């Protein structure tokens, strides 16, 4: 079946439909990972976006029930160069095409993903539409004009859990080396948390509690946390005012020594901390999405190859110096900020994804650093 990808600036490519037939809209971005398409499809941070994979052949190892990062597929649409004609893996339970059909995800293949990536890299991420029913450019452009951008939109409310729950699964077969669990309770504020983050935390701590993003600090403290994690999530951090407010309350209680807990922010959580300390958000031209981004630790000079998925950053120069938040990591592609740490409060955060789901394991040690920080205040 024929399909078309049309961008808001008039750029379009014709291809073939796979997955669910129909029409879908979203902000079109590209991901540079070579593998991990199932984790990418289920990453809540992609809510509101259509993802283009730059690697040309996708789907060769199929889909299974275990390599998911949330309870359902989160992308708005999917773009690839070529769907694999075979599925060959002992863990595979179904094909990518079947999986997309089950989850009603509209996708397109057979287009020049190199041309699309170059266009987005030059022009920036923009709204797009995939359609198998409408091929009229004027009609598609009109439809896109009515679609809001992700800037200023609260997408967290669409992916956060609705009630608290305890996470039970550790890394299991994903484990590199055995780890000793610590008798700590970590509370995760769910802005769209990935399961791999929860698995890494459970690997190191006895109890991991996940609470909705709108949970009040009072309710969080009832769980007696030794650590609090502000999770990853989709979209514009400035639109999620309720999480920023909760983060400011946590900081205030830490300053007044009213609570004893360490704080870790990941991706959107890192941005929330920056905003809570007085910073301002800035939208990147085409975002950072992939598993091969070099990040430098400014204290040690060590370079980690990291997984990334974000569209906004908090420039360090927008955060008041009096806030006491110092930059700890920088992206070697474009020198955007990738981490921060407070000078005297037990607060650390990173813009990239240390959980490696998918991606390299270089930065997993940051979870151990968080546990060490908890021990320092326990």
Choose the final residue of a domain: 104, 121, 145. Answer: 145
Q: Is 119 a catalytic residue?
A: no
327 is catalytic: no
Average pLDDT rounded to a whole number, residues 256-272: 97
- At 178, is the pLDDT very low, low, confident or very high (cuts 50, 70, 90)? confident
Q: What are 215-224's pLDDT values in tens digits?
A: 999 999 999 9
In contact, 29 and 49? CB cutoff 8 Å: yes
Residue 103 binned pLDDT confidence (cut-offs 50, 70, 90): very high
Same domain, 23 and 132: yes
Residues 140 and 160 in one domain: no
Please count the CA atoms within 13 angstroms of the CA of 176 that sit on its side-chain side. Answer: 10
161 is catalytic: no
Residue 176: predicted pLDDT: 81
Confidence of residue 12 (pLDDT cuts 50, 70, 90): very high
Q: Which two tokens stand for residue 166?
A: 């305890």
Residues 226 and 94 in one domain: no
Active-site choice (109, 267, 288, 338): 267
pLDDT of amino acid 174: 85
Q: What is the pLDDT of residues 45-89, one digit of tens each?
A: 999 999 999 999 999 999 999 999 999 999 999 999 999 999 999
- 333-372, pLDDT tens digit by residue? 999 999 999 999 999 999 999 998 999 999 999 999 999 9
Residue 378 has pLDDT above 80, yes or no: no
Say how far apart CA 48 and CA 16 lie, in whole Å.
Answer: 22
Higher pLDDT, 356 or 195: 195
Question: Are 97 and 6 found together in one domain?
Answer: yes
Q: CB of 187 within 8 A of CB of 211?
A: yes
Domain around 265 = 156-377
According to DSSP, residue 94 is labeled B
Same domain for 182 and 138, yes or no, is no
Domain of 345: which CATH number? 3.40.50.880
Give every CB contact of residue 221 below 8 A, 6+ residues apart in sequence: 259
Residue by residue, DSSP assigns 129-183 as EEESS---HHHHHHHHHTSPPSTT---HHHHS-SS-EEE----GGG-SS----EE
């Amino acid at each position: 079946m024929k399909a078309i990808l049309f961008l808001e600036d008039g750029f379009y490519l014709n291809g073939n439909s796979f997955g669910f037939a129909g029409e879908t809209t979203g902000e079109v971005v590209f991901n540079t990972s070579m593998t991990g398409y199932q984790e990418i499809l289920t990453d809540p941070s992609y809510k509101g976006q259509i993802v283009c994979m730059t690697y040309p052949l996708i789907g060769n190892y199929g889909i299974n029930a275990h390599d998911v990062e949330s309870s359902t597929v989160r992308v708005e649409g999917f773009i690839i160069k070529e769907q694999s004609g075979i599925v060959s893996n002992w863990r595979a339970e179904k094909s990518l095409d079947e999986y997309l059909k089950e989850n009603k995800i509209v996708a397109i293949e057979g287009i020049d993903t190199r041309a699309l990536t170059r266009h987005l890299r030059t022009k920036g991420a923009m709204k797009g539409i995939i359609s198998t029913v409408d091929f009229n450019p004027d009609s598609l452009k009109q439809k896109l004009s009515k679609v809001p951008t992700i800037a200023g939109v609260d997408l967290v409310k669409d992916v956060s859990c609705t009630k608290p729950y305890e996470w039970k699964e550790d890394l299991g077969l994903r484990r590199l080396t055995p780890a000793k669990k610590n008798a700590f309770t970590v509370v995760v504020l769910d802005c769209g948390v990935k399961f791999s983050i929860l698995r890494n935390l459970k690997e190191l701590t006895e109890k991991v509690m996940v609470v909705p993003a709108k949970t009040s600090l009072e309710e969080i403290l009832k769980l007696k946390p030794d650590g609090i994690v502000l999770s990853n999530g989709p979209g514009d951090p400035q639109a999620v005012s309720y999480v920023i407010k909760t983060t400011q309350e946590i900081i205030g209680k830490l300053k007044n020594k009213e609570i004893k807990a360490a704080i870790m922010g990941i991706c959107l959580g890192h941005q929330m901390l920056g905003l809570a300390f007085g910073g301002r958000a800035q939208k990147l031209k085409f975002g950072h999405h992939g598993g091969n981004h070099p990040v430098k630790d400014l204290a040690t000079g060590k370079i980690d190859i990291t997984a990334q998925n974000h569209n906004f950053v908090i420039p360090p120069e927008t955060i008041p110096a009096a806030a006491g938040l110092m930059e700890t990591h920088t992206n070697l592609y474009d020198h955007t900020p990738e981490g921060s740490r407070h000078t005297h409060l037990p607060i650390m955060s990173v813009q990239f994804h240390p959980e490696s789901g998918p991606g390299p394991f270089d930065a997993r040690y940051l979870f151990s650093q968080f546990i060490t920080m908890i021990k320092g205040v326990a």
